[in-house]
Structure 1
């Protein structure tokens, strides 16, 4: 099969994001969809029936002369009802493959809607030698990644459906998380009318992201040895600033909260990846040089830290030195690494200090080398753990660690301040930025997607996580506010659902016990949002209300306390019981669960009393209901501090057999158990 579906009537792309303005969006809203000349003819290289994860016809292909590859997952013809769901992967894309569990839930949800699913690598091929950020890989023209590869894939898939399934889709929808959430917005804004609606999940907001991420990386480095104490203080309802030792630590935590970091997500603080400094040359090529040389920048009059050493040995995940080098990873991610995975190296000829954290170094032959970053220091070893399996240095290699970009990156937020945005006002005085500002060139920061405008056709339901350390809820707040300011019918165009106790990724036992006890899975809520989006677009059925919240003086998101006030679609749960007990004593805990109006019924509740994360103690629910009170009795056998956790799930129709469109929440109660004697 070739691109017989693509006709000569297609001529040029609507516009590149370099030329498009807010006014242009309105002007081209009714323009016919045009082919993008950057893409050659389409081809299909795999066409087969697959039974796993559920039965479907699988097609894989791409566009000649480009790196864009796509996949299509088709239901049986009798199940097709004229819809297309296009999934956009997060990060910077690079792959069209899907994890099996995620793919199964996506296909079950889409096929139930009578839709086929299409996805692409969004314009480039990710390999271990081409990691994208900090190395070769990303398209030279970043509009390919932002929206053009996805748009061309959608055009092809729509036309291909006529032959493959008997009819073009009458409606098309986008769904994507993180960077894919941001690019869902870009697609809706930059290619009007190609898609009818979108569900951006834990979306990046590039108006805020580079500022926030710079604040975050500085705080993560300054507070890396205080994370556990900060987390414990917040868990106990105490002042996290009381456990800090220096003014620098206090300033960094204040800055972090003010930039929007969610209170309650402190457990994730150390997962800020120092190798994000690799973005600096891409988003602002002249910045690092200016940082070390121009007046008003923190690097003026100083020199970057550089140290050269020789690799005397490699550290693998199974080695005794590995735990200290893997500290930036949360518990479960460390356990996912294969024993032979190289997580660090022993260096000779250089004195290792914590100042090396964030330093970059090259690995490999000149011209094919890859940037790595020192993420931890322990004894005579440096850590550089990641999951990309990028090349590691070899014994005998001489490497030079350089903090030119890390130091510059950790101060970047000072120099890209928009005083009109609340999360940036801390870095301004009397409405003016305190430090010198980077040139007003919006393109330099438009990497993951085009800068959002707040103007689009169709409808959106944004699903954001309240405890997202990477893309905090203020990212979605800022975007939704811009939509409502720009569009007079904003309330009939966009919804924002913020999920409490959700982080940037799906919590699961594989990510470790502690993660599983703190956070929920949000995919079920996102797939329910897709259902609601289809009903809203096609039948005018208004979805449940926005989640009600307010931003406090620190720009932290405070959700309304009751289900009736909060709205959205997530059940609320609270636990009452003794916070002190004695070993051997039987104590009772009572939980109240309530689902917001029109959001469904409670279908499941399970307790974890012993910190295993297995939630084996299931509550008996006689029939699904929107309000439920449950009790449990428990006896702690030994003294210590325990956390009682109840995880609950609701489903819109009260269907206890549906394992896909379930919306989770949890509640935690800390109990101090004294010796029974």
Structure 2
């Protein structure tokens, strides 16, 4: 336990303004774990919380002599609920922060995630959602600053927020809603709630309509062909067109995997009356219709280790399927109404009244349904009667029609003569959203936003609109915010265990995020101007287009182009050349690796004798069997040309298809 010095703490607190005063919703802080840990890097670990609340926090402290008076607060994505970190990410986070002389603090942002309390589609979130939005994080920051005076010898003179996805949105909410508590923020793949619910509804409808066309659409885009040419119906064409209209990145079609269907579970939370209105009120597509229902009795539970499970886990993707525990229930056999593909996307409820958890049917295979998801939730029981219905799925697939800003560039399609075509939800519906307070574009301090170009969940347009609002509101906005867009990156970092294909298509964003944190510190504390924004344009469909050269593109990501033959013969030696260039003043190429066998492991490392800002990397290769081979080169740059740094690496990749024949 920590022995507090009440006099010292009181004196320090008295000097702070109102935003630094304790929030009365939180009881006194307590510490229940205080120990030295050697892994993943040596640090002092503290775990605690606030009495009378569900808020829990962790602090990771460097050795006292390396502390330079900074605090980095990391906000988990989604809707939080957990204060722990995956080991690989924790190592990079601690190495990046300790390098800056900072300690790290994180929290569950006000609530405890459990399978019985998932937050979305069931109970768990705080009743007052401002707790989740920013208040739990702010109270954690206040305590951590005071504790640092005792634990490390001084309060931090500067503190910084960073987080990805929902954590990115709440990084923005924190620095906007509690001015003066943090000096800067690094939002990563951030949600923009002014656009998000509209975008996610369009996405959900498209995934249902296009669920059998994903591979064909992806192949067409990979080959440079028209993706609409592989579609069969007007509904499919309309849904893909709508999806691009709201900013879905061309090149991310591989990620159309039914994940959006789960998001209908938000409807009761963000707009409790909407589903009822959808099925009953004039002007809504559900008027005069009845939800589709299928009722049956669960006769068998299917677990991830069962032979028939693979057919029910498709929407998870190859890699995530392998990560599921063998005992995880991923589906069930149903005896009752005939099951057709029409029930895909339908919901059913598991649990006791008042504590029900919504689950979604993602696959139908004969008399079996799949409801696999990566996050564990309760499953139905054998003998239990369940009713699948599309009450929420259909309502969610049309929600975007009813939350239209006619002036919004992504929403004009659903307006005519400056007015929405369909009835609109109450004006306060948007503000009920559970991720965070609505962004205003006004904050104290500085910010570097990192967004992924191929993010299917939070496309670059989300960050574009926020940065535009900042520069419209703040007269010095150009000197307060940066936007770096990471090409060939998605919403999460790919890893070998996530499967082959994500590793062949996407690069990791945590390296650029930690470099952004370092640049933010220099910008805030020493007025060192960071590299420029990534330059880009929005096409007529609101998709983000990046310039073809590093000098034009800006930002800090290396640009790589790959040249080689489009066709080859088995046994023939062919040559590939990767041209790599780093934007001026942002570092040197320190690493490159090739994947020629489709494993996603990039085991063939290039030899870079001398890091440089512009390199050509050659490779000769003989293909041993015919077929379409995808050659991928992945490169990395580092600001100080330090090839030994595994933390602040900024990656990119290039792909090339080669058709190999046997010569006959």
TM bracket (short chain): over 0.9
Is it true that 1:433 corresponds to 2:417 in the alignment? no
Q: CA deviation at 1:267?
A: 0.4
Q: CA deviation at 1:31?
A: 5.0
CA distance in 2, matches of 1:123, 1:92: 10
1:410 — aligned with what?
Answer: 397
Q: Secondary structure at the match of 1:497?
A: strand
Q: CA deviation at 1:34?
A: 2.1
Q: CA deviation at 1:324?
A: 2.2
1:99-138 map, 5 Å: 99-138=86-125
Q: Normalising by the residue count of structure 2, what TM-score does the alignment of the two structures yield?
A: 0.97
CA distance in 2, matches of 1:324, 1:213: 26
2:254 — aligned with what?
Answer: 267
Q: CA deviation at 1:656?
A: 0.6
Question: Would you say the 8 A contact 1:2–1:44 is kept in 2?
Answer: no
CA distance in 2, matches of 1:597, 1:562: 11
Shift of the 314–357 alpha-carbon distance from structure 1 to 2, 3 Å rule, reads same
1:296 — aligned with what?
Answer: 283
Shift of the 666–9 alpha-carbon distance from structure 1 to 2, 3 Å rule, reads closer
Moved over 6 A (4+): 8-11
1:22 — aligned with what?
Answer: none
CA distance in 1, matches of 2:19, 2:341: 57
- Name which of 184, 188, 201 aligns with 1:197: 184
- Name which of 157, 165, 172 aligns with 1:178: 165
Question: Would you say the 8 A contact 1:473–1:498 is kept in 2?
Answer: yes
CA distance in 2, matches of 1:448, 1:365: 26
2:136 — aligned with what?
Answer: 149
Q: Secondary structure at the match of 1:217?
A: helix
Q: CA deviation at 1:541?
A: 0.3
Q: CA deviation at 1:359?
A: 1.4
RMSD of the TM alignment (CA)? 1.5
Q: CA deviation at 1:272?
A: 2.3
Q: Secondary structure at the match of 1:273?
A: helix
Q: CA deviation at 1:271?
A: 4.5
2:298 — aligned with what?
Answer: 311
Question: Would you say the 8 A contact 1:273–1:375 is kept in 2?
Answer: no
CA distance in 2, matches of 1:101, 1:536: 28
CA distance in 2, matches of 1:94, 1:77: 30
- Name which of 350, 361, 378 aligns with 2:365: 378
CA distance in 2, matches of 1:43, 1:467: 42
- Name which of 615, 637, 643 aligns with 1:628: 615
Moved more, 569-578 or 438-447: 438-447
1:27 — aligned with what?
Answer: none
Note the alpha carbon deviations across 1:385-438, whole angstroms, 9 max, x for none. 112221111211111112111110110000001122111111111221111111
CA distance in 2, matches of 1:575, 1:188: 41
Q: CA deviation at 1:461?
A: 0.2
- Name which of 501, 513, 538 aligns with 2:488: 501
Q: Secondary structure at the match of 1:270?
A: coil
CA distance in 2, matches of 1:209, 1:174: 22
Question: Would you say the 8 A contact 2:194–2:430 is kept in 1?
Answer: no
- Name which of 493, 512, 516 aligns with 1:529: 516
Question: Would you say the 8 A contact 1:571–1:596 is kept in 2?
Answer: yes
- Name which of 29, 32, 45 aligns with 2:32: 45
CA distance in 1, matches of 2:435, 2:287: 30
Q: CA deviation at 1:478?
A: 0.6
Q: CA deviation at 1:10?
A: 7.1
Q: Secondary structure at the match of 2:307?
A: coil
Q: Normalising by the residue count of structure 1, what TM-score does the alignment of the two structures yield?
A: 0.96
Question: Would you say the 8 A contact 2:558–2:637 is kept in 1?
Answer: yes
Q: CA deviation at 1:8?
A: 10
Note the alpha carbon deviations across 1:158-208, whole angstroms, 9 max, x for none. 011101111000000001000000000000100001000000000000000
Q: Secondary structure at the match of 1:127?
A: coil
2:378 — aligned with what?
Answer: 391
Is it true that 1:489 corresponds to 2:476 in the alignment? yes
1:547 — aligned with what?
Answer: 534
Q: CA deviation at 1:321?
A: 2.5
Gaps of 5+ in 1: 15-29
Q: CA deviation at 1:59?
A: 0.6
Q: CA deviation at 1:576?
A: 0.8
1:469-488 map, 5 Å: 469-488=456-475
2:149 — aligned with what?
Answer: 162
1:20 — aligned with what?
Answer: none
Question: Would you say the 8 A contact 2:431–2:438 is kept in 1?
Answer: no
Q: Secondary structure at the match of 1:285?
A: coil
Is it true that 1:644 corresponds to 2:631 in the alignment? yes
- Name which of 569, 573, 588 aligns with 2:560: 573
CA distance in 2, matches of 1:215, 1:319: 35
Is it true that 1:72 corresponds to 2:20 in the alignment? no
Q: CA deviation at 1:639?
A: 1.3
CA distance in 2, matches of 1:49, 1:217: 46
Gaps of 5+ in 2: none
Is it true that 1:218 corresponds to 2:214 in the alignment? no
CA distance in 2, matches of 1:67, 1:157: 17
Q: Secondary structure at the match of 1:423?
A: coil
Note the alpha carbon deviations across 1:467-524, whole angstroms, 9 max, x for none. 0000000000010000001111111100000000000000111111111000001100
